[in-house]
Amino acid sequence: MKTILNGICTLATAGLLGLAPALVSASTTEAAKAAEPAGTYKPQIWVNLGGFSRHFASNKGYNENNLGLGLEYRTSDEIAYMAGAYYNSVRKTTSYAAVNWQPWQLGPVKLGAALGVMNGYPSLANGGSFFAALPMATVEGRHVGINFGVVPSMGKVDGAVILQFKLRLN
């Protein structure tokens, strides 16, 4: 059964990755941005639905279906505040609060890092809170967005790539 579920998750991830550019480009905000006066930005509220991870050490049995719930409040093209919880790779609940600072943009892709506090990993701070920084890329359309991050392998941490899905509320 676990093999079947892993296969379904792999196919779902591949399918969503394949559809993501089309979904995001179909809901692009370029026309909306062109209609706004220069220097104005309407804050955006997003709900984060968790996502998927793919670990570099794929033979260790990590949970890679990391569903959760969170909010993201984007105050500008460069800054978003994030908080939420998800079912992590070691099958524990992780709570997080972070600032996603993305000062660079390549076309529709915002680039930077999420800096914050999280918990729920027994091998780090005995499951308690610790600081974390992750390189982060974001693509946002009018209603659908994706956060893509990289967890580097360091010390007691087995690295992974992460994909988080979000829906805009306003």
Secondary structure (3-state) at 92? coil
- CATH number of the domain at 97, please: 2.40.160.20
Spatial separation of the C-alpha atoms in residues 32 and 156, rounded to whole Å: 45
pLDDT of residue 162: 97
What's the token pair of residue 124? Answer: 């780090």
| pLDDT for res 37 | 62
Contact between residue 120 and residue 95 where contact means Cβ atoms under 8 Å apart: yes
User: Which residue range(s) make up the domain with 71?
Assistant: 2-168
Coil, helix or strand at residue 137: strand
Q: What integer pLDDT is reported at residue 13 of this predicted model?
A: 42
Element (H, E) at 11: helix 2-26
Q: How many domains does the chain have?
A: 1
Q: How many CB atoms lie within 10 A of CB 14?
A: 10
The answer for residues whose C-beta is within 8 angstroms of residue 108's C-beta and 6 or more apart is: 24, 25, 28, 139, 140
Question: Average pLDDT by consecutive 10-residue portion of the chain (170 residues)?
Answer: 39 42 42 57 95 94 96 97 97 97 97 97 91 96 96 91 97
Q: How many CA atoms lie within 13 A of 109 on its CB side?
A: 11
Strands 130-140 and 65-74: unpaired
Which pLDDT score, from 0 to 100, does residue 156 have? Answer: 83
CA–CA distance, 82 with 12 (Å, rounded to integer):
25
pTM of the full structure? 0.75
Q: Are 13 and 165 in contact (CB under 8 A)?
A: no
